[in-house]
Amino acid sequence: PAALVTVLFHLGEMATATQSLDQGTFEALGAELGYQISVVSPEDEDRELLESFDIDLDAEERSDADSLMPRPPVVTVMGHVDHGKTKLLDAIRSTDVVESEHGGITQHIGAYQVKVDHDGTPRAVTFIDTPGHEAFTAMRARGTKVTDIAILVVAADDGVMPQTVEAINHAQAADVPIVVAVNKVDKEEANPDKIRGQLTEYGLVPEEYGGDVMFVDVSAKNRQGMPELLEAVLLTADAALDLSANPNTEARGVAIEANLDRGRGAVATMLVERGTLHVGDAVVVGSAHGRVRAMFDENGRNVEEATPSRPVQVLGLTSVPRAGDSFLVASDDRTARQIADKRAAAERQAQLAARRGTTLEDFNRMLEEGKVDTLNLIIKGDVSGAVEALEDSLLKIDVGEDVQLRVIHRGVGAVTQNDVNLATVDNAVIIAFNVRPAERVQELANSEGVEIKYYTVIYRALEDIEQAMKGMLKPIY
């Protein structure tokens, strides 16, 4: 880096080793040194990373083409606040015949599947059960399009509202067909025709007006109109989409939700998009990895395998992935870990590159405003067993669903300058277990406002972190 900074200096660019530069500057730098620079997207990089492990996504897609089978549609419910998204998701769920037959206990795992009777044939429909379209947006931002169809809920006693418009824009931008649920028709002041008229202005023209969008009047409260709504979803799917996947191969998909659970460790709800996920599979989810120890469905029942469009809660990951992270099954544990580690390293580099003076002050402000819910940690220790044990125990701390703990980096050895740099970027606290900082690192930490906490007893570290996380729940002003 120092040599490059010098060359840049001679080119008239005053840069530091961790500074972002524009493409033109990189090209000038390359030309000066006799290299051709090509700018690669993170997606391309990840593809290359996977190829280095003999995983060729394009080739898999081509070979899947011969073994495609129909798969259930994946549906997201969107709409303005209070228009009845939550209630509708509950009402739809209660229509499932299988659930009541087998007497499972409803679990909210972030997604569920219901069986629908379609002209005498049972068909499954998967619902993403994270009301609001945040999940939808976050996942789209990461390039994973999980939703096939959006149900737009509009309250018939209210009408089109800002978030209704936002939801329409999201769905249209993602090219996702919309089915409109005109909700609360049980109310006296309900005016379903008005809703139809209003939505026409946004390009959603009801079939009965000569358009191609299905509108269904429902009452989520009275659980009326659910079969019709589900039927509309299936008809729209059949008319507009060709939903298929190869079930007879290694699974790939996306994490919909993930959290830490006391006792169970990292828990992630994964939606299978292709292939079949089995208990025992070695998986990589974003930069998390592990072996599928157990899987549960939305009724809390153990399942051994999950086919395309099936959401399952997965236990066995060593850390918590992010919602929207894609997952894939690797040939063995070692490969899974290596891919995850390489991704984590790439993420850290990207973060370093994108560094724009995030300060601890910003972090504290965001904390007070409730914009931060994750405590980032870097763990350094004298032996790997201790680091792992510490990480394990830390990840098992449970202070409720609203606060999370994320270990962004771990390692054996002294606290280094690199650790401090990472901590600055991610507003992380460094946990040093039986190790001291390398030379001049403590000064750097002081000047960057990074906290390094030293421990010789695991239990003390756990106590402090638990306190900190509780503090995050109830900030003291």
**Binding-site ranges for ligand GDP (CB under 6 A):** 79, 81-87, 131, 183-184, 186-187, 219-221
Supply angle C-alpha 313, 270, 79, rounded to 5. 105
Q: Is 470 a catalytic residue?
A: no
Q: Which of 25, 46, 86, 261 is catalytic?
A: 86
414 contacts 390 by C-beta, under 8 angstroms: no
CA distances (Å), 420 to each of 366, 424, 432, in order?
21, 6, 12
Q: Is 371 a catalytic residue?
A: no
Nearer CB in complex with ligand GDP: 219/421: 219
Give the dihedral sign, CA 225/229/232/238.
negative
Supply angle C-alpha 109, 113, 119, rounded to 5. 170
Choose among 298, 234, 233: nearest CA to 90. Answer: 298
CB of 169 to ligand GDP, least distance (A): 18
Q: Is 86 a catalytic residue?
A: yes
Nearer CB in complex with ligand GDP: 221/453: 221
Choose among 305, 190, 199, 288: nearest CA to 247. Answer: 305
114 contacts 92 by C-beta, under 8 angstroms: yes
Q: Which of 80, 83, 87, 133 is catalytic?
A: 133
Q: Which of 85, 342, 380, 409 is catalytic?
A: 85
Q: Is 80 a catalytic residue?
A: no
CB of 401 to ligand GDP, least distance (A): 17
Nearer CB in complex with ligand GDP: 156/435: 156
Choose among 355, 341, 471: nearest CA to 423. Answer: 355
CB of 91 to ligand GDP, least distance (A): 8
Nearer CB in complex with ligand GDP: 186/261: 186
User: How many whole angstroms separate alpha carbon 242 and alpha carbon 226?
Assistant: 24
Q: Which of 25, 46, 82, 90 is catalytic?
A: 82
User: How many whole angstroms separate alpha carbon 170 and alpha carbon 133?
Assistant: 9
CB of 167 to ligand GDP, least distance (A): 11
The neighbouring-strand residues paired with 46 are none
Amino acid at site 81: V
Structure tokens at 434: 């039986």
CB of 413 to ligand GDP, least distance (A): 49
Nearer CB in complex with ligand GDP: 171/317: 171
Active site positions, annotated? 82, 85-86, 133
